[in-house]
Amino acid sequence: SQIVICEGDSALIYSVYQSTAGTYYNTLTNINACDSVIITNLTVNPTYSMTDPAIAICNGDSISIYGTFRSVAGTYYDSLLTVNGCDSVHSTVLTVNPTYSISDPDVAICNGDSVSIYGTFRSLAATYYDSSTTTNGCDSVRSTILTVNQLPTVNLGADTMICNGCSITLDAGGGFTSYAWSIGDTTQTIIVDSANAYSVIVTDANGCTGGDTIVIDISIGINPQSSIHNPKLDVYPNPNTGEFTVTFKIIEKQHINLKVFDIKGQVIYEENLSGFIGEYQNKIDMSSYAKGIYSLQLSTKENTINKKIILE
């Protein structure tokens, strides 16, 4: 007879389980006391153990392995029937590579500034994200929090006229880490007694700066002769977007000096008129300068007049 089994199985042949291919014999005695030899051929068909290519995915992903989606690292198996009806075992190893969530240091800027975060300049307070690919090809998410600190507010008050020989105290307010006045002082308050435009820049604990400018004029009383030589200085429009017109009238020939100061007291525009008399009108373009408070100063041989200019 012929018996076929699969590798790893066994068959009962003549009362003994056999698992090795070969020919097996048994002797039986018939009723006539003659021996009969029985022959059985055992065939053992092979099974196969096949290792399929390993698979790698990223944490949070899944992949179909032998018809089922898997997301947990491990070794997975499947069996197939060969043409001889024996099982063949397939196996593969699934690796799950990690992804990372990285919190980068927080960033703080002052209102009106911007900073490059993950390759893009940002100016709005928010949490920003970026993804980078690891050596295993998995995305790692990075994040950082951008804080936008408000600028400190300074109010030196309205432009003021004081009497000749008098002084006034200008106070930039407390609670700031540093003060920088246009006349060089670094204290919270200063005392002034001359006509000028006085500016201050303060810095707060966040490193943000703010400032203000005040114009102080001197009242010299009722003097018809002085009034004649005191030109009326006009600026329009004011506030403006950077372009404005300056006008004044001089009734006696003299040297005229016209300056524009920024909040730090630096001269950013100057014009000298030698032997000038008559009406002056000129359009000044400061559109390339930052928004803020500037001071226009007109100096004659007898007077100095200051006027605040606001760029919006």
Q: How far is CA 254 from the centre of its chain?
A: 57
pLDDT at 23: 92
Query: The domain 220-312 belongs to what CATH superfamily?
Result: Macroglobulin (MG2) domain (2.60.40.1930)
- Going by pLDDT thresholds of 50, 70 and 90, the confidence category of residue 136 is confident
Q: Is the pLDDT reported for residue 67 higher than 60?
A: yes
Q: pLDDT digits over 187-213, tens only?
A: 999 999 888 889 999 999 999 999 999
Q: pLDDT digits over 99-135, tens only?
A: 888 899 999 999 999 999 999 999 999 999 998 877 7
DSSP helix/strand/coil, 86? coil
DSSP helix/strand/coil, 225? helix
Residue 211 φ then ψ, to 5°: -160, 175
Q: Which residue, chain included where needed, has tokens 């004011």?
A: 238
Domain ranges in the chain are: 2-45, 49-97, 101-149, 150-214, 220-312
Cβ burial of 186 (10 Å; 0-12, 13-18, 19+) is exposed
Q: Of 16-25, 77-86, 114-123, 149-158, which range is least confident?
A: 77-86
Q: Which residue, chain included where needed, has tokens 């995305």?
A: 139
Q: Is the pLDDT reported for residue 172 higher than 90?
A: yes
**Distance between CA atoms of residues 80 and 256, nearest Å:** 104
pTM for this prediction: 0.56
**Distance between CA atoms of residues 89 and 221, nearest Å:** 111
